[in-house]
Structure 1
Amino acid sequence: MSSFNQWDIVSGVGVTALGVAAARALETHRSGALVTDPYASAFVEAADAPVPLPSHPRDLDSQAWKGDTVWMSMATYVAVRSRFFDDFFARATADGIGQAVLLAAGLDTRAFRLDWPAGCRLFEVDQPRVLEFKDTVLGEQQAQARCDRRAVAVDLRDDWAAALHDAGFDTTRPTAWLAEGLLPYLPADAENNLFATIHRLSAPGSRIAVEHVDTQSLGMFDEEEMTQAGQQMGVDISTLLHNEDKEHPERVLTGLGWTARSDTAQQTARRYGRELDGTMGRNGGKLEYITASR
């Protein structure tokens, strides 16, 4: 598990976070963008990635990506996913929740691009080197957080609850939690511990949103497509994923006493006027966004 324990933005899981930033950059420059991230391109350009990554649709006309449809397909999926979770936070804060936690925050820029109510506190939990890179780039961009942003540099398999508390997390306040692009990289026991810890830290009225990927049944994880995706980002994705049998997050949360629901990525895309294509289109019914309240 060293690939998860020790990584920066250009190694292991960090490369996938950089790839998501590239997808957000591509979406940002599209007409009718579902998500606008003014800092995504800066992350891509500042990183010394193992292979070149696009940061603008015009890049896809270059020889390196000519005829490549994978990136735009991924950009559409990332746009739909990001918008869904943006809306989750908008609803939560509109209903009075003033504390939020991004688990494995990566290069997430919601603290800087979303409108947060006055006094809202946002915790970003991730690896120290990832947060260091992120803060350096955002500093160079003179980005200003729109909330009380607090970076929590800790590995999620260490005592991240204690680190969160030390950063000012208040267990008496309802919290909006997000686990986006995280669960497929956790073994079953770590995932169970994650949900148990979230439940323990959550005051009544808290909410959670997670992305669920059924790695055991998804065609997107066939060997050929896995290899192609890895070549796009310069990392062997198969070494990062955990394909063991896991209990569905909706059942886990329901069992803990939360009220949960699930939306497929394909259903969500169509609500936003988009259609998932390529690999994401074939598997959009198996990619799910689970939201729950306590």
Structure 2
Amino acid sequence: MLRPVPPACDHHLIDADLEESASHWITSLIRAGYQRERPTLWLLEGVAMYLPESSLQAVLQAISDLSAPESQLGLDEVTLGSLAAAGRARHQDRGRVIRHWRWGCDDPRPLLAAYGWQAEIYQPQRVCPERYPPSLPINAELGGHQTQRGVWLLMATNSYW
């Protein structure tokens, strides 16, 4: 949980379609004053599972190209079992949110390593018990108990450059 500390940075909103070329949002970032020589904190919360793998890889490449050493990346993602459940939900016209998931994996560390990120995976119940209490299984998108389904949180540091 983040402490209530006033930010010591500027905040600029830019619009971006992450399924299209990254050049638009990269240009917008630079015009807004982005300084690629300074470490950056990237947060892709609730993003990766909605992108096809090719778009996610393009975003990771762009972020990696823009990141100074010691930049950080926060990311959440669903497991392959959850992605399969999402496919069943889509087929059954159920699951308002999960039926839109398009990508997942059980271990994202090799993918991120290919872009110069060293990642650690965390179980959401340990990081944010208020959002994922033990009484609410993280693998119950459509009900039932299936251990192959779930989500994970990741924090990575960039050592690429």
Alignment partner of 1:164 is 2:24:
no
What is the CA distance between 1:171 and its match in structure 2? 0.2
Within the candidate set 249, 253, 257, 2:108 is matched to 249
Within the candidate set 4, 8, 15, 1:153 is matched to 15
What is the CA distance between 1:263 and its match in structure 2? 0.7
Give the match for residue 115 of structure 1. 5
Q: Deviations over 1:147-198 (max 9, x none)?
A: x221102222232111111111110110000001111111111111111111
Question: What's the C-alpha RMSD, in Å, of the aligned pairs?
Answer: 3.3
Q: Which secondary structure state, in structure 2, belongs to the residue aligned with residue 217 of structure 1?
A: helix
Output the CA distance in 2 between the equivalents of 1:116 and 1:282.
Answer: 41
Within the candidate set 151, 154, 157, 1:290 is matched to 154
Q: Deviations over 1:56-86 (max 9, x none)?
A: xxxxxxxxxxxxxxxxxxxxxxxxxxx4xxx
Q: 1:161 to 1:276 in 2, by over 3 A?
A: farther
What is the CA distance between 1:208 and its match in structure 2? 0.5
Give the match for residue 199 of structure 1. 64
The alignment-based identity, stated in percent, is 24
Contact 1:269 1:275 in 2 (8 A): no
Unaligned runs of 5+ in 2: none
| Number of residue pairs the alignment of both structures matches | 148
Output the CA distance in 2 between the equivalents of 1:210 and 1:181.
Answer: 8
Name whichever structure is richer in helix by fraction.
1
Within the candidate set 260, 284, 290, 2:119 is matched to 260
Contact 1:266 1:276 in 2 (8 A): no
2:101 partner amino acid: L
Output the CA distance in 1 between the equivalents of 2:78 and 2:92.
Answer: 14
Output the CA distance in 1 between the equivalents of 2:28 and 2:146.
Answer: 37
Alignment partner of 1:179 is 2:69:
no
Unaligned runs of 5+ in 1: 1-82, 91-113, 121-147
Q: 1:228 to 1:256 in 2, by over 3 A?
A: closer
Q: Which secondary structure state, in structure 1, belongs to the residue aligned with residue 36 of structure 2?
A: coil
Contact 2:74 2:153 in 1 (8 A): yes
Between 1 and 2, higher relative CO (CA 8 Å, sep ≥ 6) is seen in 2
Give the match for residue 56 of structure 1. none
Q: Which secondary structure state, in structure 1, belongs to the residue aligned with residue 119 of structure 2?
A: strand
Larger Rg: 1
Q: Deviations over 1:19-53 (max 9, x none)?
A: xxxxxxxxxxxxxxxxxxxxxxxxxxxxxxxxxxx
TM-score by length of 2: 0.73
TM-score by length of 1: 0.43
Give the match for residue 30 of structure 1. none
What is the CA distance between 1:220 and its match in structure 2? 4.8
What is the CA distance between 1:247 and its match in structure 2? 8.4
Query: In the TM superposition, what are the counterparts of 1:1-294 in structure 2 within 5 Å?
Result: 83=1, 87=2, 114-118=4-8, 120=9, 148-156=10-18, 157-158=20-21, 159=23, 160-214=25-79, 216-218=80-82, 220-221=85-86, 222-223=88-89, 227-230=93-96, 238=99, 240-243=100-103, 248-270=107-129, 274-277=133-136, 279=140, 282=145, 286-294=150-158
1:116 partner amino acid: P
What is the CA distance between 1:283 and its match in structure 2? 6.4
What is the CA distance between 1:228 and its match in structure 2? 4.3
Contact 1:220 1:226 in 2 (8 A): no
Output the CA distance in 2 between the equivalents of 1:213 and 1:226.
Answer: 20
